Every structure is written in structure tokens, then in C-alpha cells.
């Protein structure tokens, strides 16, 4: 029998209603995530990349149960988890943990590091007080912060990188199987970012973890992940092996995204597809464009793109993309 | 480098804090030539914005104070210039593109209002309220100004500028707001643009648009630009020369290609090694954090984090030496003409 995927997201839709007027009549919907399907295998790093407002964070929140999916299913190790609540959800949270984007606002400024990390153990009632303390000690060593120096500090006394390490420790202490990272390094300087990314790679090996890695920075995602999903305005447009996505991007949006990476070395410059900057900016998820949502900004767009949603095309075993032009024709710059 | 239009000489800025005097900017020298785009690169807290504020004369004094140095703009020392003179320079000769586009526009006025005031009132220190409204209601005067504004909005590639004029900032996207700010900074036809991380708040695809636009504008109208950023890749795209700044000191200076392909200073190479690359090479950060500005290291400010540090680095401050042609570095590891 085929092994069930570790995490399987099927036709996930998350809509947020917009209310207006005295009787709070629903006047529209923000289609934050629209029909997204992908799966993550065990001990894999799956990267989600896309611009602001493309729905990356909403997917993460739906997996954690912070927002309720409008439609669709989320399967985690053979269980449908999207409608878990109460005790079942609480048990599940120890297996799926999230590291948030902005640590200076996600860590309680009135709690010390010790309390910040221990709170997860308290909620899940794991161990005696002494065991809890030892566990905090152990986990701080894993994130390379000497416990003696940090246990009784407030977040305000820590630098950005240190705060991010605390946030990672907090997620790790429950020994989760899946970790969701929502732009873990976007607030950090490059020299600190590199340290944190290397730490994540090391922890993954040590604890045999599975990552869902969300970022807007394609060069970070390319280096971190095994597979990548590219999102645009609530929809996935391309999924594939990260090396394959870089060397052989199929969707025009992926190509534009890669060509816009500000690279540094001459060698990298030759790797970028040469193309003019994209027109305009990401549209609104309230009234998304008909047909392919990318068509108003696409320089290859044909009439068909404005009315029909494109289908998925298999490019190779692991690489799929969603564009009308792929139908028999290769739109790659050759 | 051509004759410098803006030159910062031995500038030092310090701030009075509870812990003592924080020496933020430590004897920096910086030149921006005519028709040249110069990058000033450094991480958070290295003093990029303080340098910019000193140039613009908007340092909060006190607690800040300029302890040493000159800022020469076409021969005039901006630090000693009276406020009246300085106001005349701002916008017309020197102008700023701020960092966060949506925060920098006033949310309660339309784009048109913000522009009109600027075009009609630029360089004036004070005007009576009656005269203000009199002129604003004078159709002939405003029509002329509006024409100028629309032409400028076209230049920064805003689609349908007549419509955009009536928008409030909340109706604009990040990229549009940044284009409007660029238009605002260009409207007085300045000689030099000071850009303070203008693309940090934007998405990469929009960032590429803005960079292409800025490049085109500076080339077309022979502008000089000081481009402040923490993003090395962006600097490579836009600038000709680059200054690398660390903890209030300039550690390396040279042409972009030279610095990024063969960095000399341990900090610069550390920074470049920290970037995740498309080639999937290994990347490693720099240990430690920037020093406390109140108790700065006596010698080289980078030495506590430097893996090549010698005893001498601890006690003596390195001076800028020209190692190769037009490639300066402040590090004890290098001598004139070495390597």
C-alpha cells in the first residue's frame, strides 16, 4: 500500500466575508486562498513563496487551525484535521507548531525567557516542575543560547536573532513533527539570517523534522527547501523540485520572480532569466481577475487567459505548472 | 569619480544617552560625484540613517550633536548654513526619497493637495493663512502647477495621473505611493537625490520596477544619488560606487564590481558570505552583534567579531588605505599595494 503523505492539502479555500451596513450584510468575500492543493512528505522542506497578499500566511494559519477553511481538506498523517477542535485540536498542536514572523511582537514583553518557553509545557501538562526546567535548559542549548545567560532575561534585552532563537525553542519544546515557519528571517539582517537558517537546517537533521517554510525571498526558499510552491493571489501557479524551479521555471510569474532577485555575484547574474520588470502590482483578492489571475501582469497573455482558468500541466515527474501557454508549447526563454 | 557635488568630511555624530555619550558616527568621509550613484550599505544600526539626517540637517539636537567635521554641498558647508538658506536648498537642490512610502504621505490629504503645496510653496519658511488660500483658489496659478505635476507623474510612469491626483494615500498601492514620493522629490529639479531604502517595503517584482525607474531618471536628468540600503544585490544593480559601513565607520569603498567580486575587508566578505545564493553555495553569518556605541572598542570597531583580528587591531584604529586603484579599505590586514 502507498504510504499516505505526511501533510496533504486538498482544494483548500479560505474566504473572509466582508460585512457592511447596519445589518452587517455580506457584500463580498476576500478570496485569500482559492483552491490550493499540495502535499508534503515526511522529513521534507516545502517552501511556499509569493508576494505580499498571495495567501501564504493564511495557508499556515489554516493548517494550525487559527482560521477555519471555507472548503477543502487538510490531511495530517492520515487524519482530516481541518475541523478538529477542543481537546483534539489541543493534542494536535503539540505535533504541529509554528514560528511567527515578527518576534518582537509575538513574544510577550512582560515574561522572561524561562516562562516564555515553559508555557507550552504548562498548557500540555508535560512533566513535573523540575523536569520542565531541565527541558527548557536542554532546548536552549539546542538553539545555541547558553541557558545561564538567557533564562531570566526579558525579550526587550535580546537582539533580533536571539529573539528568533527563543521563538524556535518555544516551538521545538513540544517535540513537534511538523514545523511551520512564517517568514522567520524577514526582520533580520543578512549576517544573522544566515546563522538562523543554518540552525534550522541543523535542527531538522537532529530531530528529523518536516518543515513548511514560507517566505517572500526566493533566494532563501531556494536554499532551504527540497520542493517549492509558487503562489500568486491565492492560487498556486507552479510546484516543483527547488533546483528544477530555479533552472527551468515554467510559469511566467515564476520567471519574473526569479529575474527580480537582487543577486550579488557575477555567476548568479548569468543564472537569471533576462526579462523586463513586470507590469503593475498584485491585484485585489476581493475581485480577482477572471481566468488566470496573473493575466493582467503577464506579457505573454493571450485572449484565452482572460476567460479560462488554466489547467495543471505535468512538466516532469515532480514539476507541475499552471499556464495556458504550456499546452504543447514551451514558453521558456530559449 | 568626477568632482564631488556632496562631500562629507570627517563627520562625527554622537548622542547623549543615560549610559553616556554614544559615538554613533565616527569620522566618516564620503563623496558623491556629479552624475554618480553611490551606495551606502550597512546593517541595521550602523548609522546609515544618522548620516543621512546629518546631511539633511534634521538630526534631533539635543540629544544628538555633530562633534566634528563638515558636510560640503557644492562648496557650502551645510552644517553651518542658517536654516533659511538650508530650506532653500531642500527640495530644489537636495531632496529625499523616504523609506516607507505609505507612512510618508499624509493620510488626510489627497495626492494633489500634497503636491500643490510643495510646488507653490517650496523654499518658503512662512506664509499667512489668507495668502495661502488666496493663491490656492487662484485658478491660473494652480493650473500651471497642476500641469507641471501631471508631467512629473507621467515621468515616473503612473498610469492615468489625472485620476491618481484625487486619491488619498490609502487608495494607493505600495509601488504607486513610492512612485509618487519619487515624483515629489523630483519636482523641484534637484541636483542630488538622497534615497533612504526606497524599496525595502516593496515586493521584489515592484522593487525591480522602482530600481529600473530610478536608474532611468538619474541617467536622463544627470542626477547624482546617494542610495542607502542594507541590500547588497540592490546596490549592485543601481550604484557605480559603494561605501560599506559598519558601526558608524566606513570600512571599505570602491567600484561596485570590485567590492562585490573581490571584497577585502573581513566584514564585507562576511556580509557577502551570509547571503543565500542561487548557486546553493554554503552560506555562513557573522558571529556576534554590533558593539555598544557607548563603550565602543578602542581600535577597529569590527575586531571583536573578526576572525583575522590581531593584537594591533584591538588598540589602534585602522585608517583608509588605497589597496588597489580606487579601492579603499580600513583594515590592518592590508598595506598599500598589498595582495
User: What pLDDT, in 10s, does the model give residues B142-156?
Assistant: 888 888 889 889 888
Q: Are B250 and A190 in contact (CB under 8 A)?
A: no
Inter-chain Cβ pairs, chain A and chain B, closer than 8 A: 124
Do the Cβ atoms of B233 and A194 come within 8 Å? no
Band of residue B101 on the pLDDT scale cut at 50, 70, 90:
confident
Which grid coordinates belong to A239?
A: 510546484
Q: Please give the Cα distance from B316 to B294 (Å, whole number).
A: 18
Mean pLDDT across chain A: 87
Do the Cβ atoms of A262 and B237 come within 8 Å? yes
Q: Are B232 and B42 in contact (CB under 8 A)?
A: no
Burial A296-328 (b: 16+ CB within 10 A, else e): bbbeebeeebeeeebeebebeeebbbbbbbbee
Cβ-count burial of A248 within 10 angstroms (0-12 exposed, 13-18 middle, 19+ buried)? middle
The percent helix, strand, coil of chain A (3-state, each to 5) is 35, 25, 40
pLDDT at A28: 87
pLDDT at A308: 86
Residues contacting A334, CB < 8 A, separation 6+: none
Residue A209 predicted with pLDDT over 80: yes
Once rounded to an integer, what is the mean pLDDT over residues A307-323?
A: 86
Once rounded to an integer, what is the mean pLDDT over residues A65-79?
A: 89
Once rounded to an integer, what is the mean pLDDT over residues A36-45?
A: 90
Do the Cβ atoms of A256 and B205 come within 8 Å? yes
Please write the tens of the pLDDT for every residue from B88-99. 888 888 999 988
Gap from B200 CA to chain A (nearest CA, Å): 11
Q: What is the pTM of this model?
A: 0.88
**Higher local confidence (pLDDT), B339 or B314:** B314
Cβ of residue A146 closer than 8 Å to a chain B Cβ: no
pLDDT at A229: 94
Once rounded to an integer, what is the mean pLDDT over residues A168-197?
A: 89
Please write the tens of the pLDDT for every residue from A292-304. 889 888 888 888 8
Cβ of residue A194 closer than 8 Å to a chain B Cβ: yes
**Higher local confidence (pLDDT), B168 or A277:** B168
Residue written as grid cell 537569471? A272
**Residue among A213, A281, A299 with most chain B CBs within 10 A, to mutate:** A281
Residues of A in contact with B206 (CB under 8 A): 281
Cβ of residue A199 closer than 8 Å to a chain B Cβ: no
Q: Considering CB atoms only, which of B43, B176, B236 is closest to A264?
A: B236
For B305, the closest chain A residue by CA position comes to A191
Do the Cβ atoms of A261 and B43 come within 8 Å? no
pLDDT at B75: 83
Once rounded to an integer, what is the mean pLDDT over residues B55-67?
A: 85
Cβ of residue A266 closer than 8 Å to a chain B Cβ: yes
Residue B126 predicted with pLDDT over 80: no
pLDDT at B338: 55
Residue B125 predicted with pLDDT over 80: no
Q: What is the ipTM of this complex?
A: 0.84
Least confident residue range of A93-107, A162-176, A272-286, B20-34:
A272-286
Band of residue A332 on the pLDDT scale cut at 50, 70, 90:
very low
Gap from A113 CA to chain B (nearest CA, Å): 20
Band of residue A5 on the pLDDT scale cut at 50, 70, 90:
confident
Do the Cβ atoms of B212 and A277 come within 8 Å? yes
pLDDT at B334: 79
pLDDT at B241: 92
pLDDT at A331: 46
Percent of the residues in chain B that have a pLDDT greater than 70, as a whole number: 97
**Higher local confidence (pLDDT), B48 or B124:** B48
Do the Cβ atoms of A278 and B209 come within 8 Å? yes
Residues of B in contact with A266 (CB under 8 A): 257, 261
Percent of the residues in chain A that have a pLDDT greater than 90, as a whole number: 34
Mean pLDDT across chain B: 86
Q: Considering CB atoms only, which of A219, A224, A278 is closest to B278?
A: A219
Residue B116 predicted with pLDDT over 90: no
Please write the tens of the pLDDT for every residue from B223-253. 899 999 988 889 998 999 999 999 888 999 9
Cβ of residue B206 closer than 8 Å to a chain A Cβ: yes
pLDDT at A333: 39
Band of residue B336 on the pLDDT scale cut at 50, 70, 90:
low
Query: Sign of dihedral through CA atoms A85, A86, A92, A98?
Result: positive
Amino acid at each position: 500500500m502507498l504510504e499516505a503523505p505526511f501533510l496533504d492539502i486538498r482544494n483548500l479555500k479560505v474566504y473572509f466575508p466582508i460585512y457592511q451596513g447596519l445589518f452587517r450584510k455580506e457584500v463580498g468575500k476576500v478570496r485569500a486562498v482559492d483552491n490550493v492543493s499540495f502535499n508534503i512528505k515526511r522529513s521534507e522542506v516545502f517552501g511556499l513563496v509569493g508576494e505580499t497578499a498571495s495567501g501564504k500566511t493564511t495557508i499556515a494559519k489554516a493548517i494550525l487551525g487559527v482560521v477555519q477553511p471555507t472548503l477543502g481538506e487538510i490531511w495530517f498523517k492520515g487524519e482530516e484535521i481541518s475541523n478538529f477542535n477542543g481537546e483534539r485540536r489541543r493534542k494536535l498542536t503539540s505535533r504541529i507548531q509554528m514560528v511567527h514572523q515578527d518576534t518582537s511582537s509575538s513574544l510577550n514583553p512582560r515574561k522572561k525567557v524561562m516562562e516564555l518557553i515553559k508555557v507550552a509545557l504548562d498548557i500540555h501538562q508535560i512533566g513535573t516542575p523540575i523536569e520542565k526546567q531541565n527541558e527548557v535548559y536542554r532546548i536552549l542549548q539546542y538553539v545555541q543560547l547558553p541557558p545561564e545567560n538567557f533564562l531570566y532575561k526579558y525579550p526587550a534585552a535580546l537582539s533580533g536573532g536571539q529573539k528568533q532563537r527563543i521563538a524556535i525553542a518555544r516551538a521545538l519544546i513540544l517535540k513537534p513533527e511538523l514545523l511551520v515557519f512564517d517568514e522567520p528571517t524577514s526582520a533580520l539582517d543578512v549576517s544573522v539570517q544566515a546563522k538562523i537558517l543554518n540552525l534550522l537546517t541543523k535542527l531538522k537533521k537532529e530531530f528529523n523534522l518536516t518543515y513548511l517554510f514560507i517566505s517572500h525571498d526566493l533566494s532563501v526558499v531556494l536554499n532551504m527547501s527540497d520542493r517549492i510552491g509558487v503562489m500568486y493571489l491565492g492560487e498556486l501557479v507552479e510546484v516543483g523540485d527547488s533546483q528544477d524551479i530555479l533552472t527551468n521555471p515554467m510559469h511566467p510569474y515564476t520567471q519574473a520572480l526569479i529575474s527580480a532577485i537582487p543577486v550579488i555575484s557575477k555567476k548568479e547574474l548569468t543564472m537569471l532569466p533576462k526579462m523586463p520588470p513586470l507590469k503593475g502590482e498584485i491585484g485585489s483578492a476581493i475581485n480577482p481577475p477572471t481566468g488566470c489571475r496573473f493575466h493582467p501582469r503577464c506579457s505573454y497573455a493571450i485572449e484565452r487567459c482572460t476567460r479560462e482558468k488554466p489547467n495543471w500541466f505535468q512538466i516532469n515527474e515532480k514539476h507541475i505548472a499552471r499556464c495556458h501557454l504550456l499546452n504543447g508549447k514551451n514558453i521558456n526563454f530559449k | 569619480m568626477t568632482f564631488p557635488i556632496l562631500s562629507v568630511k570627517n563627520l562625527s555624530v554622537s548622542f547623549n544617552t543615560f549610559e553616556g555619550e554614544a559615538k554613533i558616527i565616527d569620522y566618516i568621509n564620503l563623496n558623491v560625484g556629479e552624475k554618480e550613484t553611490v551606495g551606502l550599505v550597512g546593517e541595521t544600526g550602523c548609522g546609515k540613517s544618522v548620516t543621512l539626517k546629518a546631511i539633511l540637517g534634521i538630526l534631533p539636537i539635543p540629544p544628538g550633536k555633530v562633534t566634528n567635521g563638515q558636510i560640503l554641498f557644492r562648496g557650502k558647508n551645510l552644517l553651518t548654513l542658517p536654516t533659511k538658506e538650508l530650506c532653500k536648498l531642500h527640495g530644489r537642490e537636495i531632496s529625499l526619497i523616504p523609506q516607507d512610502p505609505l507612512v510618508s504621505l499624509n493620510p488626510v490629504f489627497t495626492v494633489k493637495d500634497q503636491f500643490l503645496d510643495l510646488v507653490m510653496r517650496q523654499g518658503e519658511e512662512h506664509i499667512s493663512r489668507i495668502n495661502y488660500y488666496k493663491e490656492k483658489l487662484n485658478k491660473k496659478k494652480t493650473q500651471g502647477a497642476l500641469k507641471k505635476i501631471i508631467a512629473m507623474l507621467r515621468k515616473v510612469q503612473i498610469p492615468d495621473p489625472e485620476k491618481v491626483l484625487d486619491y488619498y494615500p490609502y487608495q494607493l498601492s505600495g509601488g504607486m505611493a513610492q512612485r509618487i514620493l519619487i515624483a515629489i522629490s523630483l519636482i523641484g529639479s534637484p541636483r542630488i537625490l538622497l534615497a533612504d531604502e526606497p524599496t525595502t517595503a516593496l515586493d521584489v517584482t515592484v522593487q525591480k520596477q522602482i530600481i529600473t525607474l530610478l536608474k532611468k531618471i538619474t541617467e536622463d536628468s544627470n542626477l547624482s544619488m546617494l542610495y542607502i540600503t542594507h541590500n547588497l544585490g540592490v546596490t549592485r544593480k543601481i550604484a557605480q560606487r559603494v561605501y560599506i559601513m559598519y558601526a558608524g565607520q566606513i570600512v571599505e569603498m570602491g567600484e561596485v564590481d570590485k567590492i562585490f567580486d573581490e571584497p577585502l575587508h573581513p566584514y564585507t566578505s562576511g556580509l557577502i558570505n551570509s547571503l543565500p545564493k542561487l548557486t546553493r553555495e554554503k552560506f555562513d553569518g557573522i558571529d556576534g552583534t554590533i558593539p555598544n556605541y557607548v563603550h565602543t572598542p578602542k581600535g577597529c570597531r569590527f575586531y571583536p567579531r573578526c576572525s583575522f583580528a590581531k593584537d594591533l587591531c584591538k588598540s589602534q584604529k585602522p585608517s583608509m588605505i588605497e589597496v588597489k586603484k580606487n579601492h579603499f579599505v580600513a583594515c590592518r590586514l592590508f598595506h598599500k599595494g598589498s595582495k
